[in-house]
Amino acid sequence: MYIYILLFSFLCSPIQIYEKSVADAIIHPTSFSNTSELEIERTIQVKHQVRGNDVYLECLIPNFTFKQSGGQKRDGEGHLNVIIDGKRIEKISTAAFIIKGLSRGEHTLAIQVVHNDLTTYPLERTIHVQIH
C-alpha cells in the first residue's frame, strides 16, 4: 500500500522543466585547421603466412586506396611493387595477395608503396621467408 501512495504522489507532483536560453549558453571558440593529405604520416604493416611453396601476404596501409599503376599522382593512392630476392616481379593493386611457387630456401620479399605515377612513397617493408 505504501508503494502505491508513493507512486501516486510522484505522478501527481508538478513537473518542472528547466530551459536554458541561448543567451545563458556558454560558447567556447574553437579553431579548425585544414590538414593537407600530404601531412598524413603513412605506415605499412605486412602480415604474411607461408603455406608450402606459397606466401600469403596482407598489407595494411591506413588512409590509402589501391589503384592500378598509371595516371595522375594523388597522395593516398597507388599500388605495391613486389621485389623477390632483389628482382621486381609484380605490381600489385590489392592489399592481399599470394606469391606462388617459390623455390626451396630462404627468400627476401620487399614491398614498396608506389604512387600512380610510379614515384615511390617513403614506405617499404622487407620480410624473410623460408620455404621447406
CATH number at residue 83: 2.60.40.10
Q: Is residue 118 part of a domain?
A: yes
> Whole domain around residue 107: which residue ranges?
40-131
- Residue 19: pLDDT band (50, 70, 90) is very low
> What is the pTM assigned to this prediction?
0.68
Out of 3-12, 46-55, 66-75, 97-106, least confident range: 3-12
Q: Which among 103, 93, 84 is positioned nearest to 59, based on CA atoms?
A: 93
Q: Is residue 17 part of a domain?
A: no
The dihedrals phi and psi of 14, each to the nearest 5 degrees, come to -65, 140
Q: Is residue 8 part of a domain?
A: no
CA distance 40 to 130: 35
Whether 81 and 101 have beta carbons less than 8 Å apart is answered as no
CA distance 27 to 86: 60
Q: Is residue 111 part of a domain?
A: yes
pLDDT, tens digit (0-9, with 9 covering 90-100), for 91-130: 999 999 999 999 999 999 999 999 999 999 999 999 999 9
